[in-house]
Structure 1
Amino acid sequence: MKQPCAIILAGGRATRMGGGDKGLLPLGRGALLDHVIDRITPQVAATALNANGDPARLARFGLPVLADPVEGFAGPLAGVLAGMDWAARQGAETVVSVAADTPFFPCDLVPQLLLATEGMDVPLALAATPDGRHPTFGLWPVALRADLRAALEGGLRKVVQWTDAHGAATAMFPAAGDPFFNVNTPEDLARAQAMVAE
């Protein structure tokens, strides 16, 4: 299988952080997004951002900025679909999604997702820890993008509802160190700052 592309899901409304782009919040020497980009880029063939609104605000990252391809705030699956469409144009067979507010996700995320889908005709997998699945971290086959588009246009919004219907595999990661810790509140951001400082 060809190396996947990656889509960073940065389209959330960040209501608990007072609105705006969570990915632009300062963390360490850069922004939250810098940490996410640094983690995913070595694992994939190419990377893009999924965000709605004016893409110019994200220009400094030097990545393609893809808007949701369906109307209304359709949640992470719409960002996944944007990534699938873009990855298909790159000639990739799969795209990996990661969340823009989760700066410490595993450095072997992509290899483990690929491993989980070995032997599958249509490679689809979600990351998980013993606490449960992390549906914004997944491997998505571009071959299913028409199916996902139809599901979104039909009103489906829950990631696991769609992935379960397609028999998604699970890539299990240890819970130690809270690898999928995400920044939702000012307190979370303070915790992330302390983790970076360590």
Structure 2
Amino acid sequence: MKQPVGVILAGGRATRMGGGDKGLLQLGGQTLLSRVIDRIDPQVAALALNANGDPTRFRDTRLPVIADSIDGFAGPLAGVLAGLDWAATQGVDTVVTVAADTPFYPCDLVPQLLLASEGMAHPLVLAATPDAKRGRARHPTFGLWPVALRDDLRRALQDGVRKVVQWTDAHAGREALFADESAFFNVNTPADLAHAEAML
């Protein structure tokens, strides 16, 4: 398998943060987005940003910006589909997605996702961490996705599927377990941003 490309999912509306781009918020003198880029860039063959609206607001990243092809803010799966369509133009088989508002995710994310995918016809893996109540908590914006299933995903989105795990479970998706429960802490509110500052 060729090294996957990476796609940073930044297409949400950030309603709990008051709107705008969460990835452009400052955390310890850097934007959340720059921290996310620093972690994923060494792990992938190429990198793009999934975001909607005016792409010039991300010009400082020097990344290609790819918009959702499904209208109406269809959620993370629409960003995954945009990434898969972009990956197809790059001639690669898989995409790894990360979220633009999650600055502490593991630096070995991609190797662990690939390890969990061994033996799968269509590598489809979500990151997970231990959870006291549920056993495991899946993190649906952090995953390994096969380009071969992009048309299936397009049909699912057109049919109204929005929950990531609904689609991954239908394709026997696996999980890659990461021990650190705090690694996937994401910034949704001003209080979360203050907590992230404390985590630094």
TM range (shorter): over 0.9
Q: How many angstroms apart in 2 are the aligned matches of 1:46 and 1:137?
A: 16
Which residue of structure 1 lines up, in the alignment, with residue 34 of structure 2?
34
Q: Which amino acid aligns with 1:80?
A: V
SS in 2 for 1:130: strand
The alignment status of 1:146 with 2:148, answered yes or no, reads no
SS in 2 for 1:139: strand
Q: How many angstroms apart in 2 are the aligned matches of 1:61 and 1:194?
A: 26
Which residue of structure 2 lines up, in the alignment, with residue 81 of structure 1?
81
Q: How many angstroms apart in 2 are the aligned matches of 1:19 and 1:45?
A: 32
Query: How big is the shift at 1:32?
Result: 0.4
Q: How many angstroms apart in 1 are the aligned matches of 2:19 and 2:29?
A: 22
Which residue of structure 1 lines up, in the alignment, with residue 161 of structure 2?
156
Query: How big is the shift at 1:91?
Result: 0.9
Q: How many angstroms apart in 1 are the aligned matches of 2:130 and 2:164?
A: 19
Which residue of structure 2 lines up, in the alignment, with residue 187 of structure 1?
191
Q: Which amino acid aligns with 2:6?
A: A
The runs of at least 4 aligned residues of structure 1 exceeding 6 Å deviation read: none
Which residue of structure 1 lines up, in the alignment, with residue 171 of structure 2?
166
Counting only pairs closer than 5 Å after superposition, residues 19-168 of structure 1 correspond to structure 2 as 19-131=19-131, 132-168=137-173
Identity of aligned residues (%): 74
Q: How many angstroms apart in 2 are the aligned matches of 1:36 and 1:76?
A: 17
SS in 1 for 2:154: helix
> Could you report, residue by residue, the CA deviation over 1:49-97 in whole angstroms, capped at 9, with x for unpaired residues?
0000000001110000010011111000000000001111111100001
Query: How big is the shift at 1:140?
Result: 0.1
Q: How many angstroms apart in 2 are the aligned matches of 1:126 and 1:173?
A: 11
RMSD: 0.8
Q: How many angstroms apart in 2 are the aligned matches of 1:192 and 1:152?
A: 33
The number of residue pairs the alignment matches comes to: 195
Query: How big is the shift at 1:29?
Result: 2.2
Q: How many angstroms apart in 2 are the aligned matches of 1:123 and 1:68?
A: 22
Q: How many angstroms apart in 2 are the aligned matches of 1:45 and 1:194?
A: 32
SS in 1 for 2:96: strand
Which residue of structure 1 lines up, in the alignment, with residue 134 of structure 2?
none
Task: Could you tell me which runs of 5 or more consecutive residues in structure 1 were left unpaired when the two chains were aligned.
Answer: none
Task: Could you tell me which runs of 5 or more consecutive residues in structure 2 were left unpaired when the two chains were aligned.
Answer: 132-136
Query: How big is the shift at 1:130?
Result: 1.1
Q: Which amino acid aligns with 1:60?
A: D
Q: Which amino acid aligns with 1:22?
A: K
> Could you report, residue by residue, the CA deviation over 1:15-53 in whole angstroms, capped at 9, with x for unpaired residues?
111100000001122200000000000000011000000
